[in-house]
Each structure stands twice: as structure tokens, then as C-alpha cells.
Amino acid sequence: MTQAPAITTTASFPEKFVWGVATSSFQIEGAADVDGKGPSIWDDFCKQPGAIADASDGVTACDHYHRWQDDLDLIDRLGVDAYRFSVSWPRVRPGGSGAWNEKGLDFYERIVDGLLARGIKPYLTLNHWDLPSELQAKGGWTDRDTVHRFVEYAQGIDQRMGDRLASITTHNEPWVVAVLGYEQGIFAPGIKSRAAAAQASHHLLLSHGLALQALRAQGSKTRLGIVLNLSPVQSATDSAEDQAQAHLEDGKLLRWYMDPLFQGSYPADVLAYLGADAPQLQAGDLDAIRTPMDFMGVNYYSRAVISAKGPWDAKQSGLPITDMGWEVYPEGLTELLVRMHTDYPVPPLYVTENGGAFKDAVQDGQVHDADRTDYIARHIEAVAEAMRQGVRMEGYMVWSLLDNFEWASGYAKRFGIVHVDYATQKRTLKDSAIWYAAMLTARPGHRSQKVAAINAI
């Protein structure tokens, strides 16, 4: 285990750089059918035998729906500037269309106002995967109608609380929704069809662009963007086969999303690879998708290494490996950010998720997660390096605030900087959280110092 470096990380960043923590609705809220919430595709998927490694579900999760005030206090203690969270679409509009659920809207409004009261900026995501089940029954993201329902959802949230938000993100990680959900079937909704995945990805992108246009048309006061999960894709060897395969995988992961968002086209090599499975487009779709954004988020965890011979075994690199089996490779974050900045006319960038799952143990009320602190510190340094190389970066957010429901892996994988005892719902700050808080509250002018100064009078 590596010792956390004694870094003065924030010194390399401008004062207005935004430091945060992130979560998502399904992973922490619980209250799956409380106060009028409708079912989501993840509620349904968890019921499929074998879908979730520990056969768990999101019925209780971190019980954040009931403990939100204490959790906001916890976020405040960390000294962050921002909290990135998502809205559960079926909590605010249970069927995805039709009646809105006032109690659901009130819940998120209380979160937003509670954050602002504590001096924390709310970064709201509309789609972190929990699509209303009723929309899935009509085809989910393969159905073009879902695009229009999503635009209405975006408008409703913006009308209700957009005046108090730091930003609205349309989608979190559309690649995951499309590929893991509709092609590999290992995430909700559990479909295995390459054509369905391609169509779903197009509709996700289209709904993003149309939502931006609709929100601007209604005078939205907040900043608008999308969040992609991206990695540098490297060839395992110099062989022509590996390099060709790596180029295609780069196309499927990065260029399939970045090209339409910034260049108005899908990459030709991926379209050729898809052949008859390529998505159906209508006139104007590509123009809508490239609607300018105010910011963009990148979720980074590791690099991808591609061999034409089959899956790459991360253990052979000799790099540290997280509990997810992912290599710790911070230089990949610098490489990725510089590439995005060089190849595309990107708006200001945020790292909207970054962190590691490690096997934590609570000992005498403490969690000594030096490996997680080391991971986060090294990735923050990688962001600083990207900025030195000219990338416009505005923020960095740790994934995650809390240990939570890690999708198909269930609760066994812990990404939190705050430990959650799921039997008691007790929260314990891990050493990584204490380190992050110490770093952030020591910044010149931090709100905690103002409070301390007032108290000292």
C-alpha cells in the first residue's frame, strides 16, 4: 500500500476551481416506492435472478432519502464547493410522462436549497440511468418518443429549480447506458442487441441536444452540459492487429460521442463496423446533437488496453489495481484531457467523477484507506498537469461521497470517502475524506475560516 503523498495540491489551482463530491440517485437514495415514486429500470433489473452480484437492490441503499439533512451536513464538513447529484426521473414523474409527483420535486428542491444554505453549489444530473419503467415498456432509449419525454423532464426540472442550480447535466455516461444496458445486457435494462445499443446511444445524444435547445428557449439560468466516461485507449503491443483494434475501440468509446457532440458526424470507421446495426437518423438530428454546451464533464477511472487476441489482463502491467480490477493510471487522465482539448473545440471541462474502490476495514471507528487517498491525490496532480499543458479545467469531483450501490456489483465494492455501515446506516469519514477536507478547508478564503473568524469575535 502506498502512503498518501504530503502534497499541497490545491496550490496549483486557481481560487475559483470547483472541488466537489458526487453521488447518484439510485445508488444512495433508497425509498424505492415512497411518496409516489414510480419504478425504474434498475428496480426491475435488480429483481432478475443473477443480475446483481450479491443479489441486492436499491430499496434502502444509503437511505439518503430520509437522511438527506445529515448527509448535507457531512458534505459541508468536507469543505467542498460543490455537490454533484442526480434526480430520479420516476420520483418526480413516475411514468416518465403524464402527472408530476410534487413530493418528489419537493425532495430535490430541499436538497438544492439545503446545499445553498450551506454555501455549496448544486450540480444536478438528469439521467444517471434510472429510467422510468413505463418508458422502458415502450422501448426505453430505443424508442424515439423517449427523447421527447426526456426533453419535457428537463424542462420541468429547470422550471422548478434551474434558477438555483450551478449546472444541469443531461446524461451521465451514455456509453454505459447504451453498451452495458442494451448491447452487453449486464446493466439495466438487460438487453443484448448491438443495433438496439446503437439506436439508444443516438437517442441519448439527440435528447441531450434537444434538451439544451428547449432549456435555452425557456430562458434557463443555469449552465448546461453532458458527462462522458472516457479513457485513453492504448494498444497492448505494436502489432498492426492490436493497433487497428485499439483504434476501433477508441472510436466506439470516445469518437462515437465526441464527434457528433463537437463535429456533427458519427465516425466513419464505427459506422462501417456497425453496418446494418447503425442507428436510424432523421434530418436535423446531428445539428441538434452539436448544440453548444457551457461545460462538459469527464468521468475517469483508468485506461483501456486493447489486444486483438482478447481481453487484457490488468494484472500483467504491474500497476496497482483497484478492487474493481482497474489499473491505477493517473497519467491517462492528463493524456485524455489534453487530447480532448487538442482534438475538439471543448467548453471548460470538469472531472465529474474520479475515485477508487478498495477493500476497506473499519478499525476502532477509523478507515485507513491510504490507497484511496493516494489514488485521488495522484489524479488531482494529473489534472494540474493537464492545466499546465493548456486545458481549461473548472473543477474536480470525487466519486463518491458515500459507499453505495455499485450497480451489478452490488454493495461489495466501496468507492466512498465516507464509509457506510449498511446494517446501521452509520457514516464514518475514511482517512481519504479527512485528508480531502483538510486540503480544501485550508484554501485561502474557505467558508469554514470565515465561520471560525466570526466565532472568534
Which residues would be at the binding site for ligand IFM (CB under 6 A)?
A: 24, 27, 173, 299, 353, 399, 406, 415
How many beta carbons lie within 10 A of that of residue 163, not counting itself? 12
Nearest 5 degrees, angle CA 300-CA 257-CA 201? 105
DSSP assignment letter at 140: G
CB of 107 to ligand IFM, least distance (A): 20
The residue from 29, 134, 173, 327 that is catalytic is: 173
Strand partners, 234: 305
Q: Which is nearer to ligand IFM, 128 or 255 (CB)?
A: 128
Nearest 5 degrees, angle CA 308-CA 311-CA 313? 120
How many beta carbons lie within 10 A of that of residue 338, not counting itself? 16
CB of 415 to ligand IFM, least distance (A): 6
End-to-end, the C-alpha distance of the chain in Å comes to: 44
Q: Which is nearer to ligand IFM, 18 or 408 (CB)?
A: 408
The residue from 29, 183, 327, 353 that is catalytic is: 353
Q: Which is nearer to ligand IFM, 76 or 173 (CB)?
A: 173
CB of 325 to ligand IFM, least distance (A): 11
Nearest to 390 by CA among 428, 349, 420, 432: 349
Amino acid residing at 41: I
Q: Which is nearer to ligand IFM, 13 or 85 (CB)?
A: 85
What is the DSSP secondary-structure string of 43-65? HHHHTSTTSSTTS--SSSTT-HH
Separation CA 77–CA 222 (nearest Å): 26
Q: Which is nearer to ligand IFM, 215 or 351 (CB)?
A: 351
- Residue that has been written with the C-alpha cell 448546461 in this structure: 224
Q: Which is nearer to ligand IFM, 180 or 288 (CB)?
A: 180
CB of 145 to ligand IFM, least distance (A): 26
Distances in whole angstroms, Cα of residue 1 to Cα of each of 137, 285, 321:
47, 49, 11
Distances in whole angstroms, Cα of residue 301 to Cα of each of 168, 298, 326:
22, 10, 8
Nearest 5 degrees, angle CA 269-CA 275-CA 276? 155
Nearest 5 degrees, angle CA 222-CA 223-CA 227? 130
- Write out the three cell numbers for 9: 495540491
In the residue annotation, 173 being an active-site residue is answered as yes
Sign of CA dihedral 90, 95, 97, 98: negative
Q: Which is nearer to ligand IFM, 385 or 406 (CB)?
A: 406
CB of 401 to ligand IFM, least distance (A): 11
- Which active-site residues does the annotation give? 173, 353
